[in-house]
Structure 1
Amino acid sequence: MVIASILKTKGNSVISLGPEGTVLDAARLLAEHRIGAALVRSLDGALLGILSERDIVRGMAAHGPGTTGLPATQFMTRDLVTVQPQTLVTEALSLMTQRRVRHLPVLDAGGGLIGMVSIGDLVKARIEAAEQETEELKHYVVSAG
C-alpha cells in the first residue's frame, strides 16, 4: 500500500498557519481541527516548516508563560521530513520511527504539497489491510476445505 491510497480515502486537505501566526493562534488551530500539527506556509504557499503540539510544549518549557504571544515560526521544525505519493506505508512508518516525527507532508515530484499523513493514518491503513488479508485467508481456507 502506498501513501496515495491513504490520501485518496482521507483527502488532501492540509491545515496550515501563516508566518505571522502566534503560538496561541497555532494552538487554537490545532484544537479547533483536533489535529496534532499544522504546516507553516508563506503567503505564496511555500512550506516554511511544521508546528506540532510537541513543539509548542517544548517552547513553553523553554520560554514560560509568555510563549503564546511569540511567533509560531520561532518554534516550528524547519527541517521537514516528507514523503511522496508512491512511498510505501511501511517505508513512511519506518521514516517516522527513525526521525521521531508523527506527521509527514506529502509532496509531488515537483515539490508541491498534495497532502499530509499522520502516524494515526498510517496505522489505521495497516490495520485495515491486515483485516482484509485475514478475511481473504479465511475465505480461501473455507472454500478450499
Structure 2
Amino acid sequence: MKVSDILRLKGNALYTIHPDEPLAQAVAVMAEKDIGSLVVMEHGDLVGMLTFREVIQTLAHNAGSLGQMRVRTAMDDHPLTCTLETDMDEVRRMMLDRHARYMPVMERGMLMGVISFYDVAKAVVDSQNFENKMLKAYIRDWPEDDAHPAA
C-alpha cells in the first residue's frame, strides 16, 4: 500500500497557514476545523508544520499565553515529509522514529495532502480486515479432500 492509496480514500481537504499569521489565529482555525495540524506555506513552498504538539509546547513556555506570537515562532521548520509513492511500511517507520503524528505529502515540490498517524492506522486495520474476510471466504469454500472419501 502506498501513500497515494490513503489520500485517495481520505479525500483532499487541506488546511494551510502563512508563517507570519498570529499563532492564536492558527489555534482558532485548528479548533474550528477540528484538525490537529496546519501546513505552513510561504510563496507556494512548504516551510513548516504546526501541530497541537507545538502549540502546547509554546503555551507551556509562555505561561499559558500565545500573546502576539506568530506561527513561525512555534512551527516545526523541518517537518518530516513523504511522497505519493512512499510505501506504508516506510511511513509507519518514519512516523514512529520521529514521533510524528502528521506528515505532509509532497510531489515535485507541490503539497498533495497530509496524512496522519490515524490515517495510517486506519489503512492498516482496513487492509487486515479485508485480508481476514478473504481468508475466511477461502476457508469456507475449502475443497473436500478426494484422497479420503467420507465413510
Say how many residue pairs are matched.
Answer: 143
Q: Does the alignment pair 1:11 with 2:4? A: no
Alignment-derived partner of residue 82 in structure 1: 81
- Runs of 4+ in structure 1 displaced over 6 angstroms? none
SS of the aligned residue for 2:49 comes to: strand
CA RMSD, Structure 1 to Structure 2 (Å): 1.2
- Listed one character per residue, the Cα deviations across residues 11-67 of structure 1 (whole Å, up to 9, x for unaligned) are 23310111221111111111111111101111x221110011010110111122442
**Pairing 1:30-49 to 2, within 5 Å after superposition:** 30-42=30-42, 44-49=43-48
Structure 1-normalised TM-score? 0.93
C-alpha contact (below 8 Å) 2:45/2:109 kept by paired residues: no
Q: Which has the larger radius of gyration?
A: 2
Alignment-derived partner of residue 149 in structure 2: none
- Listed one character per residue, the Cα deviations across residues 64-99 of structure 1 (whole Å, up to 9, x for unaligned) are 244242101101000110011111112101100001
Q: Percent identity?
A: 27
SS of the aligned residue for 2:115 comes to: strand
- Listed one character per residue, the Cα deviations across residues 86-138 of structure 1 (whole Å, up to 9, x for unaligned) are 11112101100001110010011x22111110000110010000000000000
C-alpha contact (below 8 Å) 2:39/2:50 kept by paired residues: yes
Alignment-derived partner of residue 134 in structure 1: 132
Equivalent-residue separation in structure 2 for 1:100 and 1:130 (angstroms): 24
Equivalent-residue separation in structure 1 for 2:37 and 2:67 (angstroms): 16
Structure 2 unaligned blocks of 5 or more? 144-151
